[in-house]
Amino acid sequence: MAVTRLTQPECEALLAELPAWRLREDGLAIERTLRFADFNTAFGFMTRVAIEAEKSDHHPEWFNVYNRVEITLTTHDADGLSARDGKLARFIETAAAAASAG
């Protein structure tokens, strides 16, 4: 399904709102690394995000080793960033804070 890509100003606004996220070099994704107290906390966070991803039909690209989770958000159907990435990033920030990640 076609999804509208964010404009340049919208991308900049999103990054300003989410200071812990970085724009990927190619400008097509935002990235964030999170560290939790331990693996169980990290995986519990990932479980919460996975449930939200399935509910919103918008899924992260992520890597986990022990207490570290590296997340990349992009919208494949838009070949870049869309509002869905912003929405999921905001959810991730809330879930990370609840798991007291840094």
Ligand X SMILES: C[C@H](O)[C@H](O)[C@H]1CNC2=NC(N)=NC(=O)C2=N1
Nearer to ligand X among residue 15 and residue 50 (C-beta) = 50
Nearer to ligand X among residue 76 and residue 90 (C-beta) = 76
Buried b (16+ CB within 10 A) or exposed e, 73-95: bbbeebebbbbbbbebbebbbeb
Asked if residue 24 binds ligand X (CB under 6 A), the reply is no
Site for ligand X in 56-85 (CB under 6 A): 57-59, 74-77
Residue 81 CB, shortest distance to ligand X, in Å, is 10
Nearer to ligand X among residue 31 and residue 77 (C-beta) = 77
Three-state SS for 37-82 is CCHHHHHHHHHHHHHHHHHHCCCCEEEEECCEEEEEECEHHHCECC
* Number of residues this chain uses to bind ligand X (CB under 6 A): 7
In the complex, which residues of this chain contact ligand X (CB under 6 A)?
A: 57-59, 74-77
